[in-house]
Structure 1
Amino acid sequence: MNDFNSHTLLAALPARLGAIVRRWSHDTPHAPALHDGSRHWTYAQLAAAIDETAATLRALDLRPGDRLMVVGENCAAQVALTFAATDLDAWIVHVNGRLSAHEVDQIRDHCGARRVIYTSAPGGAASPDTAAHGLRHAATVADSPFGAWMAGALHTGRVPEPVHAASEYQVAALVYTTGTTSATGAPKGVMLSHRNLLFVAAVSSRLRGLVPSDRAYGVLPITHVYGLTSVMLGTLYAGACLYLCPRFTPEALLAALHDRQLTIVQGVPAMYAKLLEKLGSVDAPLPNQLRFAYAGGSPLSPSLKARVERVLGVPLHNGYGLTETAPTVSQTRLDQPRSDNSVGQPIPGVQARVVDAHGEQVAPGVDGQLWVRGPNVMLGYYREAQLTAACMRDGGWFDTGDLARSDADGALFIVGRSKELIIRAGFNVYPLEVETVLNAHPGVTQSAVVGRPGAQGDEDVVAYIELDARHPVTLEALDAWLAQHLAPYKRPAEIIVMDALPAAATGKILKAKLAAGG
């Protein structure tokens, strides 16, 4: 199932995202496409809602090349707006309603949105935070196929971007990366084409063995590239049904496993850690219909992986990607699950190289900088030509900024982020290595390790942790645990306990906030 010709797949890809829904609305019009918590949408109903939404956007004077910003949390409106906007050659800019006013306004100003749509209206239960942003911007409540939403004012001074002559290379989505900014201090927007997104959706769908009868959990935010491409587009590409959920809670996941009989779950490690915490001492497999579970978005420790596999009763697959690669670079294979922390082999059609400081490929087992090349690599950073040039290498290679090594079979292991590297007493300390040891302790739910300026230009290793109340542990005991597994220079100078680590809506820990003092 996992062996397929990527060249044949590329040649068969449609030019536009909208072809995904149109195909299934023709072939299986009555099959379920979405469930948003209150109603089902068949593929025929979703296609009709997309057409109606596109007509609404035209009436709102959205033009080809315009940026349409959509503020919201996972709902059917976001799905339809994605397809409707890209049908019009506009760029969709998804922004999570849980962001602060400052963050939302920064993205709105940087992308130059001609319109902003807020998927919730005042009084709606779906996302009060989204409605609050709409009220703050004096948006107008309007009806849509999905109930009431809010439309912001027309920004007449916005200039549309050129439309590519070949639709597959037209920008479809402008995705802002979590916790990163450009050299100018503005948010960093990644331009992804129809081809970028469709390629990853198709390959992801194939590697998961998705079929129309599958029921996938859609809790990863559509505002993030993982939720947008791999989960939302990948599920619909296969003609399967996506069960949307606006926010993760362990209780909601347990209910969906039982009530919706999910067959596919994709999440981030923090999500699975919270599920284990909720289950307490339960270690036997939960009754479920799962055939595939996947973790991505941040490092997965072998200890967490093993515990989740016991509870879910299926292998927990691992992978690696970035916003700039739409996102998938590698993942473990359905028929070859692993017990270690490898992120698998590059997906078909994508090449990966681990290189030294001079760009020369290093031998398997040697750490180096990870470069990737393929149809998934972004068009560039919006309005940041210098930043784009700084990460691109000759031959179309993208420098990920991550440190990795490969094994003899080409499977990748992520060592850490080069920009997170801590220099302590002249030695390199990779936060991921320290976090893996901390997370392996049963008393730790999750951890984040950052560097802090020390004496005479040195750096201290500082660990922030969330404790698991089921397994009480003292800081002294954690120090002893670390001493058993790490060299002295790698051990934290300080361990700070937090009720909850700062995290994005995806569950990704925001280390920049910790490095800045919490």
Structure 2
Amino acid sequence: MVSVLDPVTRYAAATPDNIAIRGSGRDWTYRQLHDASLSFGGRIRAAGLSEGDRVLLAAPSVAEFIVAYMGIQAAGCIVVPVNTMSAQPEIEYVLDDADISLAIAWHQLGPATHDAGAARGVPVWTLTEESARTDQEPTAIADRDVHDTTAILYTSGTTGRPKGAQLTVGNLLSAGEIGAESSRGNSSDRTGTGLPLFHIFGQGSVMMVTFTGGGSLSLLPRFDPTAMLDLVRKDKLTIMAGVPTMWNAMLHAAADVDSSDFEQLRIAISGGASLPGEVARAFETRFACTILEGYGLTETSAFGTFNSIDRPPKIGYTGRAVPRTEVEVRDHDGNHCPAGTVGEVFIKGPTVMKGYWKRPDDTSAVLSPDGWFRTGDLGETDPDGDLRIVDRVKDLIIRGGYNVYPGEVEEVLYQHPDIIEAAVIGIPDDYYGEEVAAVVAVRSGSAVDAADVTTWARERLSAYKIPRVVQFIDALPKGSTGKILKRSIDRTGLVTLKQS
């Protein structure tokens, strides 16, 4: 018998009184989490659902999300987590595409899930603190195969409609094992995050890794930099996970914090987007804490590469392939690129998805028969084999025949003392085909203007990489994880933000 619930079951037997989840309302031991998950799974089975049925889950990062998630696993159903900010049409799309049998929505969310369920004839349960502790007869944990689909996570849909990445039981268990091995996770660890658990970073790289190591997980339902700093102190975190904008926000909210508040923190893990070197350096200086950057995607259960804890991290690099995983950089013809040459990143390993739900053509376009996944990311390795992500293939700017990687330009802009956030995009140009444009947010009271930004870049970049168009904005648009959403910046109007 194999189940995503296996790590929780293991520690519920071995260390039942150890804390599994530290929440705002109460703590959950491994035994309590295990029993509540089986009871929740019993409720699902009592409602008539069978193994393989899809269950939509809309909830923030609270303990009850985990109970419902693991209860769905115990029942042998497939969990389909969705963004808590999803609008009704977006939820209706998932209900239809995944052929959802049941939807579960956190009680503090808006009516979108309930309205979508009513429109599509799908029953919707309201998840509360009380309903997560149901006294329903517990289910026997479903016997699954490692290749069975156990979660469907919809991609952001930067091109076309969102696609559902099918993650298997083996994918998620492997994510937990690989992450615990890479971070040397153990039962004494106290991990904390403000990441959403409905996102693969929160699920694969934080939740599964924490439970595989037997440690505790502290959650923020919604990221706030001050609250995250308080969580570090209150719960004495040893591991913290976030995205670059979170580290940046914490730096600017840390007026009353000193490095002693971080002395027990042994690992800070960054992913989701490239970490600007200036942010990494400032964080280490401010808190005496090194951020280790990793790289992965929804389709690889959040894993690909990670900086080793046994050697100093290289700023700007995401490390080498994680255990049991292969990573290659290839050129347009599929040939292996030598160190220092930019190409597309490919990943092969036990965390690579089964394929896209009901999308065989899309699956075959990115997943080869021998298991190699085509990421769509541009990267290069150094002589040591460490990977540096240059940019997304689709974000590449071609100005007058020259390739401009937005991440390289953004790195320079982040070095400016007054620039807090930066996004570089290509905009149409009659002469060059594309022109380099920068959208930036600056410190309050800053007198920096467009000419200053251009001058700063000119002193540090080749002429063809300099942003010729600079627009200022209060804050850049971000997704649920805090990742800057370039697709929300209208490339024709530059800063006319699209409605989400």
TM-score (norm 2): 0.91
- Find the aligned partners of 1:406 and 1:345 in 2 and give their Cα distance: 9
- Find the aligned partners of 2:354 and 2:126 in 1 and give their Cα distance: 35
Pick one of 271, 287, 298 that aligns with 2:261: 287
Q: Which residue in the other structure is 1:83 paired with? A: 70
Q: Which residue in the other structure is 2:151 paired with? A: 173
1:134 aligns with 2:114: yes
1:35 aligns with 2:22: yes
Tell me by how many angstroms 1:286 deviates. Answer: 4.8
- Find the aligned partners of 1:452 and 1:286 in 2 and give their Cα distance: 46
Q: Which residue in the other structure is 1:147 paired with? A: 130
Q: Which residue in the other structure is 2:97 paired with? A: 110
| 1:494–1:242 distance in 2 versus 1, CA, 3 Å | same
Deviations, residues 183-225 of structure 1 (Å, cap 9, x unaligned): xx33111000011111111111121121112111132111110
Tell me by how many angstroms 1:393 deviates. Answer: 3.1
Contact 1:286 1:311 in 2 (8 A): no
SS at match of 1:279: coil
| 1:140–1:86 distance in 2 versus 1, CA, 3 Å | closer
SS at match of 2:353: coil
Contact 2:329 2:336 in 1 (8 A): yes
SS at match of 2:155: strand
Tell me by how many angstroms 1:273 deviates. Answer: 0.7
Contact 1:178 1:504 in 2 (8 A): no
| 1:141–1:398 distance in 2 versus 1, CA, 3 Å | closer
Moved more, 224-233 or 134-143: 134-143
Contact 2:328 2:347 in 1 (8 A): yes
- Find the aligned partners of 2:98 and 2:12 in 1 and give their Cα distance: 33
- Which runs of no fewer than 5 residues in structure 1 stay unpaired? 1-13, 121-126, 150-163
Contact 1:452 1:515 in 2 (8 A): no
SS at match of 2:45: helix
Q: Which residue in the other structure is 1:360 paired with? A: 335
1:396 aligns with 2:396: no
| 1:478–1:342 distance in 2 versus 1, CA, 3 Å | same
SS at match of 1:416: strand
Q: Which residue in the other structure is 1:373 paired with? A: 348
Tell me by how many angstroms 1:283 deviates. Answer: 8.7
Deviations, residues 102-122 of structure 1 (Å, cap 9, x unaligned): 3222222221211101022xx
Contact 2:38 2:74 in 1 (8 A): no
1:210 aligns with 2:193: no
Q: Which residue in the other structure is 2:293 paired with? A: 318
Contact 2:117 2:123 in 1 (8 A): no
- Find the aligned partners of 1:387 and 1:441 in 2 and give their Cα distance: 41
AA at the equivalent of 2:436: V
| 1:515–1:286 distance in 2 versus 1, CA, 3 Å | farther
| 1:491–1:101 distance in 2 versus 1, CA, 3 Å | farther
Tell me by how many angstroms 1:450 deviates. Answer: 1.5
1:25 aligns with 2:6: no
Q: Which residue in the other structure is 2:387 paired with? A: 412
1:16 aligns with 2:40: no
Q: Which residue in the other structure is 1:4 paired with? A: none
SS at match of 2:104: strand
AA at the equivalent of 1:176: Y
User: Aligned runs of 1:497-512 on 2, under 5 Å?
Assistant: 497-512=472-487
SS at match of 1:128: coil
Tell me by how many angstroms 1:172 deviates. Answer: 1.1
1:250 aligns with 2:229: no
User: Aligned runs of 1:454-465 on 2, under 5 Å?
Assistant: 454-455=429-430, 458-465=433-440
Q: What stretches of structure 1 move > 4 A for 4+ residues in a row?
A: 135-145
- Find the aligned partners of 2:366 and 2:434 in 1 and give their Cα distance: 26
Give the CA RMSD over aligned residues: 2.2
SS at match of 1:506: coil
- Find the aligned partners of 2:241 and 2:198 in 1 and give their Cα distance: 15
Contact 1:354 1:362 in 2 (8 A): yes
Moved more, 466-475 or 136-145: 136-145
1:228 aligns with 2:203: yes
Tell me by how many angstroms 1:399 deviates. Answer: 1.1
- Find the aligned partners of 1:449 and 1:510 in 2 and give their Cα distance: 11
Contact 2:106 2:127 in 1 (8 A): no
- Find the aligned partners of 2:32 and 2:433 in 1 and give their Cα distance: 61
- Find the aligned partners of 2:445 and 2:29 in 1 and give their Cα distance: 43
Q: Which residue in the other structure is 1:329 paired with? A: 304
Contact 1:180 1:188 in 2 (8 A): no
| 1:212–1:471 distance in 2 versus 1, CA, 3 Å | farther
- Find the aligned partners of 2:124 and 2:97 in 1 and give their Cα distance: 25
- Find the aligned partners of 1:439 and 1:506 in 2 and give their Cα distance: 20
- Find the aligned partners of 1:218 and 1:304 in 2 and give their Cα distance: 18
AA at the equivalent of 1:79: I
Tell me by how many angstroms 1:284 deviates. Answer: 5.0
Pick one of 414, 418, 421 that aligns with 1:439: 414
Deviations, residues 118-171 of structure 1 (Å, cap 9, x unaligned): 022xxxxxx434x5543664598868683258xxxxxxxxxxxxxx99611111
Q: Which residue in the other structure is 2:136 paired with? A: none
AA at the equivalent of 1:374: G
Q: How many residues align?
A: 480
| 1:47–1:145 distance in 2 versus 1, CA, 3 Å | farther
Contact 1:53 1:145 in 2 (8 A): no
Tell me by how many angstroms 1:35 deviates. Answer: 1.8
Pick one of 393, 401, 405 that aligns with 1:426: 401
Q: Which residue in the other structure is 1:92 paired with? A: 79
- Find the aligned partners of 2:112 and 2:421 in 1 and give their Cα distance: 31
Tell me by how many angstroms 1:101 deviates. Answer: 2.6
1:59 aligns with 2:42: no
Moved more, 239-248 or 74-83: 74-83
- Find the aligned partners of 2:40 and 2:144 in 1 and give their Cα distance: 24
AA at the equivalent of 1:173: A
1:480 aligns with 2:467: no
| 1:382–1:369 distance in 2 versus 1, CA, 3 Å | same
AA at the equivalent of 1:170: D
- Which runs of no fewer than 5 residues in structure 2 stay unpaired? 133-141
AA at the equivalent of 2:475: A
Moved more, 319-328 or 95-104: 95-104
TM-score (norm 1): 0.88
AA at the equivalent of 2:152: L
Deviations, residues 6-36 of structure 1 (Å, cap 9, x unaligned): xxxxxxxx83211111100000000000122
| 1:500–1:30 distance in 2 versus 1, CA, 3 Å | same
- Find the aligned partners of 2:421 and 2:90 in 1 and give their Cα distance: 26
AA at the equivalent of 2:130: G
